[in-house]
A and B are shown apart, each in its own frame.
Chain A
Amino acid sequence: MSAVPQRAAAAAAGTLTDAAVGDVLFTREVEVTRDRLVRYAGASRDFNPIHYNDVVATEVGLPGVIAHGMLTMGLAGSALTDWLGHTGDGTARVARLGTRFSRPIPVPATGGVTLTITGTVGAVGVSDDDGAPCVRVDLRAEALGVTVLAKAQAFVRV
């Protein structure tokens, strides 16, 4: 797992005050493995067997075990808050976070699938429900060459 701030010269990591639409803020790659699925199942108490049992997953028409959508969203959220955390804590700055789940990520019994998360400035001069100024960060999540989250957006207080 690595976080690579890509615009260090113009925007210090975690800082959004000078953000411009299109700025790529960070990219993080995460290996999604069965081990991680089991850990997420335990931590989230989501014990749907399609996330650990190939027989059950196949019976309901899936290619095999798939990652929890909420694991993928959680990994994307962490990539964002860890990047924001370079200037104090990032978690408390996220006013809104939402996504659609466009494709499942099949996860093999051994080995893993690389999930690539990229955060880009999608809009500036927006505000949260309380009117606090925000930047919209668009999150792209790709695995096996396809986009797995659609319209994944965070409103981050500046």
Chain B
Amino acid sequence: MSATVDASRVGSVFTGTPPFEVSRRDVIAFADAVGATSPVHRDIAEARAGGFSDLLAPVTFPVVIAQEAEAEYIADPASGVDFSRVVHAEESFSHRRAVVAGETLTTAVHVDAITARGGLTLVTTRTEITDEAGDGVATVVSTLAVRGADA
């Protein structure tokens, strides 16, 4: 059984994911996993010496925040996205500033495009990440390729 991606979701916006509290442990564990060796990810004194309020998250860390938020759309069976048939096709980040530990960030997931190409359906989401002051921090654009039932 394989659902078809519901193309009528283009233009939908999802804001129901609770705010993401970025912990120092989150930052350190992610830096270890992706091999980011700079002390600004681990040493609070180094981060502050660099002009940051706390440990700096690695450059792709916003994906953790975005993927949690995207799940509100993707994991809902009504989206028609069968996650066992999904591969990650593209990802991009626009950073207005770096994420630091200790902040609480909110998300809005926009379904920007759903297009069929060959036996694939490409689903593009754009997650806008905003800080407590309401200022934009980062934009994360993700494209998933969903294989069709016969692919």
List residues of chain A with CB under 8 Å of any chain B CB: 1, 30, 36, 39-40, 42-46, 48, 60, 68-71, 73-75, 77-82, 85, 88-92, 94-101, 104, 129
Interface residues on B, range: 35 or more
Please give the distance in Å from B104's CB to the nearest CB on chain A: 17
Q: Which residue of B lies closest to A90 (CB)?
A: B38
Main SS at interface, chain B: mixed
* Interfacial chain B residues near A42, Cβ < 8 Å: 29, 33
Closest 7 CB pairs of A and B: A98-B92, A74-B34, A78-B36, A43-B29, A43-B33, A40-B33, A69-B88
Among A85, A92, A129, the residue within 8 A (CB) of B97 is A92
Q: How far is the CA of A69 from the CA of B87 in the complex (A)?
A: 9
Are B33 and A94 in contact (CB-based, < 8 A)? no
Are A101 and B88 in contact (CB-based, < 8 A)? yes
Please give the distance in Å from A37's CB to the nearest CB on chain B: 9
Q: Which residue of B lies closest to A98 (CB)?
A: B92
Among A36, A92, A99, A129, the residue within 8 A (CB) of B33 is A36
Known: A39-B33, A69-B91, A71-B34. A97 touches B56 (CB 8 A): no
* Interfacial chain B residues near A91, Cβ < 8 Å: 36, 38, 40-41, 56-59, 98
Q: Which residue of B lies closest to A102 (CB)?
A: B89
Among B30, B37, B90, the residue within 8 A (CB) of A99 is B90
Contact with A along B35-78 (1 / 0, CB 8 A): 11110110000000010100011111001100110000000000
B115 at the interface (CB under 8 A from A): no
26 residue pairs A–B, Cβ–Cβ below 8 Å: A42-B29, A42-B33, A43-B29, A43-B64, A46-B67, A70-B88, A70-B91, A73-B60, A74-B30, A77-B34, A77-B59, A78-B34, A78-B36, A82-B38, A85-B40, A89-B38, A89-B50, A89-B56, A90-B38, A91-B59, A92-B56, A92-B97, A97-B60, A98-B90, A99-B92, A100-B89
